[in-house]
Amino acid sequence: MNNGNILKGPLGTGLLIVSAAAAIAAFGYAMLDLMAVGHRSFNTSSQMPWGQPIATYLYFALASSGLGMIAALPLVFGFKQFYPLAKRSIYLAFIILISGMAVLAMELGHVFRMLWVIPFNLQIQSAMFWMGVFYVADLLFLLWKFQKMEGREWDSRTSRQIGIASFLAVLLASGNLALIFGMMSMRPFWFDGLMPIYFYLTAVASGLAAVVFFTYLAYGFRRAAMPAAMRAMFEGPLPKLFAAVLGGTVLFIAVRAITGLYTNNPEIHLVWRDFLFASPVYQASLWLGIVLPFAIMLMAGLRGNPAVQVLVSMAVFAGLFAERYFFVVGGQVVPLFRGTWEWGLIEYTPSLTEWALTIMGSAMLFALYAAGERFLNLSAMPDDFLAANGSEATA
């Protein structure tokens, strides 16, 4: 019996097989290129060292953090109406982080060397050192918390403590990730003490997009198939939270854009004028992927509609991916010295190998998600919560 979850049946197996095949194919393509010609297969350069694979990692890592924060609503702060999302959010946070790390591993020059040189050299002054520490802690706490949920241990003292530790790890990991960019005064487009707040907001936005989309996917995009408590959440608090978070994201982007366009500093001003707003892709992602979804979610008559919620989640998914891409590349497009090698903005278009890594990470996420839906009970909720909110939610 699947209790409405269509991925517990052959569809789930099919999605698992197709996604795994896509992930393996993309990995194989990228790996062959990397083994044949190394990072020559990337379109990055010494003047543009971080390209789309880094943007993909950033997107996945922050989506994971956002999901961790969403799970903290019921698990740490006691907003019990979000219990129906908790377990799926924790699981998604874990697998999105794993997928992001897989992409990052393919981007680095020496990924296996990293495993010993970072712990043995303890460069605590580097934000990237702390990124490793905090995201590993995040990963372990997510796994531990999930294991407690699997054992139906939702509210024990240990479970609560792990939940709090997990939330702190999420805050530290994503906040520190923001500082990797935000502390670079030589890259004025990124240099911003409020970058962690921006990352927290957009992390929750992408996390919400992920959990909304994947929850609907599990139930065949039919809200009627969902457990009562989950339905109630999709009809009430969740779309309001989504609207609020998107509003915060729009506000933050607007503030950054206004200050960026106002300043005379060409390393900020020109990025906004000649790179971001000059790009139809950025314009589309901003207006259709962030602003329009926000406007739609503001409308009480629309935000509760299941089809609208799915479309908004997909639009935000794409919009925020583009936002990450333009953020990472935008910090590097103005050459540090104009002249000989670069007369205009540095040009960069991701290569097929770089796209293959993005596809690999995405397909890996879908495969791990399908496996989770197929073999685990991601819609589980605490017994006392179920008793109070309808008991059919056992899928």
Partner 1 sequence: MTKWGMVIDLDKCTGCQACTTACAMENNTLPGENWQDVLFYHEGTYPTAKLTWLPRPCMQCENPSCVTVCPTRATYKDDEAGGIVFVDWNKCIGCKYCMIACPYGVRFYADEQPVVEPDVRDVFPGEGQLWAPPYQNPESDARRGIGIQPKGVVSKCTFCYHKVSQAPEGVADLDEDNPETKEYVPACVRTCPPKARYFGDLDNPDSEVNRLIADKRGVRLKDHTGNRPQVYYLGSGADVPAYDPPSDS
**Which residue, 341 or 375, is less far from partner 1 as judged by CB?**
341
For residue 202, the minimal CB distance to partner 1 (Å) is 20
**CB closer to partner 1, 25 vs 183:** 183
In this structure, what is the dihedral angle of CA atoms 196, 198, 204, 208, given to the nearest 10 degrees? -160
User: Contact with partner 1 (CB under 8 A): which of 334, 367, 381, 393?
Assistant: 334
346 lies in the site for partner 1, by CB under 8 A: no
Pick the binder of partner 1 from 28, 49, 151, 193 (CB under 8 A). 49
CA distance 348 to 340: 18
Residue 146, both tokens: 């999930």
- The b-or-e profile of 250-288 (16+ CB within 10 A means b, else e) is bebbeebeeebeeeeeebbbbbbeebbeeeeebeebbee
Is the Cα torsion angle 143, 92, 201, 238 positive or negative in sign? negative
d(CA 216, CA 226): 9
Closer to partner 1 by CB, 40 or 222: give it: 40
Q: Closer to partner 1 at the Cβ: 79 or 129?
A: 129
Nearer to partner 1 among residue 284 and residue 336 (C-beta): 336
Tell me how far, at minimum, the Cβ of 260 lies from partner 1, in Å.
15
Nearest approach in angstroms of CB 267 to partner 1 is: 7
Residues 208 and 313 sit within 8 Å (Cβ to Cβ): yes
Q: Is 193 in the site for partner 1 (CB under 8 A)?
A: no
> Hey, which residues does 339 pair with through a beta bridge?
342
> Near partner 1 by CB under 8 A, which window of 159-167, 182-190, 300-308, 316-324?
182-190
- Tell me which stretch binds partner 1 (CB under 8 A): 14-22, 46-54, 227-235, 316-324: 46-54
Which region among 78-86, 159-167, 178-186, 212-220 touches partner 1 (by CB under 8 A)?
Answer: 178-186
Question: How many chain residues interact with partner 1 (CB under 8 A)?
Answer: 50
Find the shortest distance in angstroms from Cβ 110 to partner 1: 5
By CB under 8 A, is residue 50 in contact with partner 1? yes
Q: Which of 47, 81, 279, 305 binds partner 1 (CB under 8 A)?
A: 47
**Residue 125 within binding range of partner 1, rule CB under 8 A:** yes
Stretch 248-277 residues interacting with partner 1 (CB under 8 A): 266-267, 270, 274
Instruction: Compare residues 28 and 38 and give the one whose CB is closer to partner 1.
Output: 38
Contact residue for partner 1 among 129, 221, 277, 355 (CB under 8 A): 129
Nearer to partner 1 among residue 108 and residue 307 (C-beta): 108
Judged by CB, which is closer to partner 1: 135, or 369? Answer: 135
Q: Given the complex with partner 1, which of 34 and 142 has the nearer CB atom? A: 34
- The contact set with partner 1 (CB under 8 A) reads 38-40, 42-47, 49-50, 108-111, 113-114, 117-118, 121, 123, 125-129, 131-132, 180, 184-187, 266-267, 270, 274, 331-332, 334-341, 343-345
